[in-house]
Chain A
Amino acid sequence: EVQLEESGGGVVEPGRSLRLSCATSGFTFREYAISWFRQAPGKGLEWVGLIRSETYGGTAEYAASVRGRFSISRDDFRSLAYLQMNSLRTEDTAEYYCSRGQTVTGAKYYSDHWGQGTLVTVSS
C-alpha cells in the first residue's frame, strides 16, 4: 500500500525557518516525483512545488509565492522528501501536504497519492 506521511509542522514566528518531512512507503521512491501542496484556513488547495526523480534530473519547480524562500529536496536511500521553508510569513500558515507525482512524460505530473497533512502556523 502506497503511504505518505508529513511531519515537522508547528508554530513558528515570522521570518524563521521550518523543515517539513514526507516519509513514504509502499512504492519505489526513487522512481517518482514528489509534490508539495498547501491549504490555508478557509482557502483552496495551492501547489507549492515539485521535485523530479533522478531519472528526470532530480530538479525542482516552485510556485512564484514561495520561490527563493522554500526548497525541496529528497533522500532516495531513506525514501524521504523535505520542504525547507525559510523567511516564513503569516500568509504561509496552512496545512501542508506531500503527494506522489505520477507522470508518463517526465514533464507533466499529477498527484495520485497524498499524505494527511501537517499544520504550519506562522505567528508572533
Chain B
Amino acid sequence: QVQLQESGPGLVTPSETLSLTCAVSGASVSTDDFYWSWIRQPPGKGLEWIGYVFHTGNTNYNPSLRSRVTISVDTSRNQFSLKLNSVTAADTAIYYCAREKVAATTDWFDPWGQGTLVTVSS
C-alpha cells in the first residue's frame, strides 16, 4: 500500500520560504510510471496544482507559481520536497503531496498524503 506523508513547519513568516517534504512508503520514487506532485487547498476553497518532479529531477510547475517554486526529489531517501519562496498570506493553505500517474490521456493523482496546513503569518 502506497502512503505519502507531508512534514514541515506549520507557520511561515511573510516573505520567507515555505519548505515541505513528502516521504513515500510502499513504492519507490524511482519509477518511470509516476510523477510526484504537490497540490494545495486554501482553507474552505478549491484545489490548485503546484507542480511535479520526476525521479530524474525533471520538473514542471504551475505557471502562476513558477517564479517562486522549486520541487526536488531525493531518491536515496525516497522522498521529494517543495520550496515556495517570498510567501504571503495568500499562500496559506493545506499542502498535499500526491503520486501522479503518467497516463496516455491525462495524468491523475492517487494516492494523496493527509495534507499539512501551512499558515503564513508574522
Chains A and B bind each other: no
Chain B residues with a Cβ under 8 A of chain A? none
- Chain A residues engaging chain B, CB cutoff 8 angstroms: none
